[in-house]
Amino acid sequence: MIDKIENIKADVSAYKIPDAETLEQFRLKFLSRKGLINDLFEDFKNVDRTQKGTVGKALNELKNLAQSRFDTIKEKLEKESSKGSSIEDYTLPGRTYNTGTKHLITQALEDITRIFERIGFKVAGGFEIEDEYYNFDALNTPDYHPSRDMQDTFYLDSEGKGKSYLLRTQTSPAQIHVMQNQPPPVRIISPGKCYRNEAISARSLAMFHQVEGLYVDKGVTFRELKGTLDYFAKEFFGKDLKTRLRPSFFPFTEPSGEMDVECYLCKGKGCRICKYTGWLEILGCGMVDPNVFVNVGYDPEVYTGYAFGMGIERTLMIRHGVPDIRMFYENDIRFLKQF
Ligand code: DAH
């Protein structure tokens, strides 16, 4: 009997079990109720009493050996088959996915839009390619104005088209499109890209964003312009940053002004960023020039209005303390992730 046990033991150890199918054959052959080991236990009943100790021990060893081979291989096969499947161990920490975010400029345009929508402004579209009439003439900007120079504006090859096409240098032409297409009252903002033939530096790029604003109705005053801009600055920069309005000149507004915000870096004390003035300019504004109303067919004796245009990159540099305008477009994830 001992010999028989030893033979089966050798068989158990040598049995090749590469997959679940052979594992089942192994189980049927050795471990099932009708298997070889159970048969041996049946035979054990007839073993001579003096032999029972040794045979019993050998038999138990055989049974344990077969069982433990079965268990280990079963576990190994299960592990292999679950690899690559999503049903693994539910107690493991979940997989994290890196989701993208909106670009800082997009977020700012949406913020600004929301701030103005709250006080009744609607969003109007515009065109990145304009002709000289919309970008300059209709906006009361004469032929000799320096911004019309090739040095400052990207002109497109418009030969044979009868008009000079260009990449708009400002969002202000949107004002003209809106007023040509509807009678007053008008209360719109128009965000978008603008282009200027600038040398690229920490302060300027050849492409940037602006948001234009326009409000026209009977009896609109400069006081309303100031109130609206104050409201915007408080919403966008927070209540702590001081603002100021100073006289300026634009061909399409009279009188004209510029709004400055306290320098983010020195808080008004004067530093390199603000060229030691303590202030940074964020927008141009003014009362719509009567000539512009005449150009679009509005009666300047009946209507008045205000307009403003702000630079987005510049505004964001102030809000977040971004020292170089190029950072917005370098797509450095370490920078973008912060917003
Ligand atoms: N378009 C001007 C610029 O790019 C900004 C501006 C000034 C817009 C005054 C306006 C305005 O609507 O009234 O510098």
DSSP 7-30: HHHHHHHH----SHHHHHHHIIII
Residue 86 has pLDDT above 60, yes or no: no
- Return the ligand 1 atom nearest residue 309 CA: 8
Q: Are residues 33 and 63 in the same domain?
A: yes
CB-side exposure of 63: number of CA atoms within 13 Å? 14
Q: What is the pLDDT of residues 268-315, one digit of tens each?
A: 898 887 889 999 899 999 999 999 999 999 999 999 999 999 999 999
| 178 in Cβ contact with 214 (< 8 Å) | yes
Q: Domain limits at 16?
A: 2-83
Spatial contact of 200 and 182, defined as CB atoms under 8 Å apart: no
Residue 88 in domain: no
Q: What is the pLDDT of residue 85?
A: 55
Q: Are residues 37 and 127 in the same domain?
A: no
Summarize the confidence of residues 120-136 as an average pLDDT.
Answer: 96
Query: Residue 155 has what DSSP assignment?
Result: B
Residue 14, exposed/middle/buried by CB under 10 A (0-12, 13-18, 19+)? exposed
Tell me the per-residue pLDDT of 143-179, one tens digit each, with 9 for 90 and over: 888 878 878 899 998 777 778 899 999 999 999 999 9
The residue whose two tokens read 């009361």 is: 140
If asked whether residues 74 and 120 sit together in one domain, one would say no
pLDDT digits (tens, 9 = 90+) for 12-29: 999 999 988 999 999 999
8 and 116 assigned to the same domain: no
Per-residue pLDDT tens over the stretch 223-257:
999 999 999 999 998 888 889 999 999 999 999 99
Choosing from 33, 54, 83, the residue where a domain stops is 83
**Residue 182 included in any domain:** yes
**CATH for 319:** 3.30.930.10
Q: Is 308 in the pocket of ligand 1 (CB under 6 A)?
A: yes
The percent helix, strand, coil of the chain (3-state, each to 5) is: 40, 20, 40
Mutate to test the pocket of ligand 1, among 252, 254, 287 (most ligand atoms within 8 A of CB): 252
What pTM was estimated for this model as a whole? Answer: 0.72
Verify whether ligand 1 is closer than 6 Å to residue 286 (CB atom): yes
Question: What is the model's pLDDT at position 250?
Answer: 95
Percent of the chain with pLDDT over 70: 98
250 CB within 6 A, ligand 1? yes
